[in-house]
Amino acid sequence: MNRRKFIASTAALGAAAALSPFILRNLGRPGVQSASAAASEARVLKAVSRTLDIQGKAATVFGLEGSDGKSGLTFTEGERFQVALVNKLSDPTIIHWHGLKPSYDQDGTPNAPLPLLAVGEIRHYDFPVGTAGTHWMHAHTLQEQNLLAAPLIVRDRDAAKRNEQEVVILLHDFSFTPAEELLARLHKGGMAGMDMSKHDMSKMGMSGMKMDMPGMKMDGMKMDGMAMDGMAMDLNDIEYDAYLANDRTLDDPEVVAVEKGGKVRLRIINGAAGTVFTIDTGELSGTLVAVDGQDISPVTGRRFPIAMGQRLDITLPIPTLAGAYPILALREGATQRAGVILRTGDGSIGKIPVQGDTSGPVMDLSLEATLQARKPLAVKAPDRTLRTMLMGNMMAYEWMLMPNKPFMVRSGERVHLEMMNHTEMAHPMHLHGHAFQVVDINGTLLQGALRDTVHIPPKSTVTVAFDADHPGKWAFHCHHLYHMVSGMMSAINYEGVA
Ligand SMILES: [Cu+2]
């Protein structure tokens, strides 16, 4: 090599060194399977199209399959997330590793900074999986609605010794109508999936942000109905065709064989695009031991709410007799249910109707207010307090976070993030790349749970704290898919990150 060529190639190397190993590894490799050592260690994860039978009708949905053909990936803490993601779909896509802490360029938010994977493209990921927890992966696009999601479980090293049977439950809402059309209907002011001709139009104006409508005659409306079914308008934007637990409806549920007298650890993921559920453990007494993959002081109960994006780890003692124990997910403010059946021995399984007798509970912060992190953040005054107002206009179906620009933080700061919900809908707010601790609910200080997605009911204010220890430009958004794509999305950017 002559001197001139040498300088040129070192200069190129210098420029490349400014990029992360992730970008370097993926440079110039679209669609090409590398034979490098790193690639051979990587697990293959394919974004695929598949067909489900939903209520007797064929449904073409997406999925994320490991090389064993199963949905999602399972790691042990301390391992590296070495994954080759293959886009086998007929459209571009990108997957977000919800709950993990990849470097910013591997986070999986479209064009932040990397574009979607082209059809056939393979992208390589390599970062520590971090501590144990129940996480998940999903498309950060409307494809999430079409079930492009899967569990991402990180087991602790002692998991095998505990003699706990793990049962993963991924919840979804499903529509035969494409997400693009559901969104278009919402923007037209209708309730997607609902036949408006059968609905009381007078209720529409009550949803979303309270609007100043001087000419509106309130006393002409059915106020009695408002308190009951009118409430549902604010709870659920979309009437889905089905609610799924591990891809199945309650008409044809998954039946999981469990051991008599054993212990089960449910790992429940709310992968729905627009539906809050309450988990109902029925006859079995549950102990909530972790939320969003972060251990908490145990809380016993039979009903636990879960918003979109959130996870619950619930342990259950299994009776010593043969029996069948449904674990249900009750749709918020409506009668539909999904679920799986835990079965011991030859316990008989009764048919459980999809429609329950009563509406599922409305999620509030009463459970959140009692949660305590097992490993809370060190007590420290905030270096910076960010305040955002959650705003919306239900009629136009516009949602936003004000101020309407990314927030800035500096590495090393303790940051408080205050979220004030000025709308009539609840919003599960998710910050990428960080776990935060809930430290204030409606003015009451607490040392709450660590998590990555917190539910903010209407007219409520929640403050979370986090340490700015993971430089990047991190998406911060509502995990209601249609709110997110309709404007309820911002970012928290570190100073000095280009
Ligand atoms: Cu929202």
How far is Cα 222 from Cα 211, in angstroms, rounded to an integer?
Answer: 18
Phi, psi angle pair for 155, to nearest 5°: -85, 150
Q: What is the pTM of this model?
A: 0.86
Question: Quick check: 320 pLDDT over 80?
Answer: yes
Q: Residue 26's pLDDT is what?
A: 58
pLDDT band with cut points at 50, 70 and 90 for residue 72: very high
How far is Cα 359 from Cα 354, in angstroms, rounded to an integer?
Answer: 12
Pairing verdict, β 407-409 and 427-431? unpaired
Residue 482 Cα to ligand 1 midpoint, Å, equals 8
Q: Report domain extents, the chain.
A: 22-158, 242-363, 370-494
pLDDT band with cut points at 50, 70 and 90 for residue 23: low
Question: Quick check: 38 pLDDT over 80?
Answer: no
Provide, for the chain, the percentages of residues in helix, strand and coil under a 3-state DSSP scheme, each rounded to the nearest 5.
15, 40, 40
pLDDT band with cut points at 50, 70 and 90 for residue 432: very high
**Residues near ligand 1 ion, CB 5 Å cutoff:** 427, 478, 480, 483
Phi-psi region at 490: left, alpha or beta (left = phi > 0; alpha = psi -120 to 50) = beta
The CATH number of 242-363, from 2.60.40.420, 2.40.170.20, 3.50.50.60, 2.30.30.790, is 2.60.40.420
Residue 216 Cα to ligand 1 midpoint, Å, equals 26
Q: Residue 202's pLDDT is what?
A: 33
pLDDT band with cut points at 50, 70 and 90 for residue 21: low
Structure tokens at 230: 């009118």
Residue 113 Cα to ligand 1 midpoint, Å, equals 24
Which 3 state secondary structure label does DSSP give 73? strand
Mean pLDDT of the chain: 87
| Cβ pair 241, 54 in contact under 8 A | yes
Residue 262 Cα to ligand 1 midpoint, Å, equals 39
| Cβ pair 131, 78 in contact under 8 A | no
Residue 414 Cα to ligand 1 midpoint, Å, equals 26
Residue 180 Cα to ligand 1 midpoint, Å, equals 17
| Cβ pair 43, 66 in contact under 8 A | yes
Residue 487 Cα to ligand 1 midpoint, Å, equals 9
The yes-or-no answer to whether 22-158 and 242-363 have a common fold is yes
Q: Residue 205's pLDDT is what?
A: 33
Residue 335 Cα to ligand 1 midpoint, Å, equals 22
How far is Cα 398 from Cα 392, in angstroms, rounded to an integer?
Answer: 6
Q: How far is CA 149 from the centre of its chain?
A: 9
The CATH number of 370-494, from 2.30.110.10, 2.40.10.170, 2.60.40.420, 2.40.30.10, is 2.60.40.420
Each residue of 397-415: b (16+ CB within 10 Å) or e?
bbbbbeeeeebebeeebbb
Which 3 state secondary structure label does DSSP give 146? helix
Residue 411 Cα to ligand 1 midpoint, Å, equals 28
Residue 448 Cα to ligand 1 midpoint, Å, equals 22
Phi, psi angle pair for 393, to nearest 5°: -135, 100
| Cβ pair 282, 328 in contact under 8 A | yes
Residue 339 Cα to ligand 1 midpoint, Å, equals 25
CATH class, domain 22-158, is mainly beta
Residue-wise pLDDT for 119-167, tens only, equals: 999 999 999 999 999 999 999 999 999 999 999 999 999 988 888 999 9
**Alpha helix segments (H runs only) across 288-355:** none
Residue 324 Cα to ligand 1 midpoint, Å, equals 36
